[in-house]
Amino acid sequence: MGLAFKLGTLYLQQEAALDTYEAAVALSSDDRIDIRTYGGAIAILHYFNIQPSQPIRCMTNNPSKLSALAENGYCNVERAPIRVKPTEQTAKHLTAKMTKLGHLK
């Protein structure tokens, strides 16, 4: 959504004590807070001639990334979770991503 959107969410998180999801919804005009597509990643797989039948290891906690791969025929995907120990500064953000955005552990 751009740098200004990201900076706005960071401001609301700090000044209004909103979590990452609440801040993004407050700034979004239509409740769409993540408009990313993964077409670029799919294009890179095609460029390097990585076939959908080949196994892929995807480092992510975001199930949308796995769905994008599956929607493009990449079904032999192993998810490698990204483990980050929460700190006082990141705990609220990471919790919101899991509870409100469906991110995995």
Q: Catalytic: which of 30, 31, 32, 34?
A: 34
Exactly one of 36, 57, 79, 83 is catalytic; name it.
36
DSSP annotation string for 62-84: -HHHHHHHHHTT---EEEE----
> What's the mean per-residue pLDDT of the chain?
89
Q: What is the pTM of this model?
A: 0.71
Distance CA(53)–CA(74), nearest Å, equals 7
In the residue annotation, 19 being an active-site residue is answered as no
Separation between Cα atoms, residue 101 and residue 41, nearest integer Å:
21
Active site residue 57: no
What does the pLDDT look like over 63-90, one tens digit per residue? 989 999 999 999 999 999 999 899 988 8
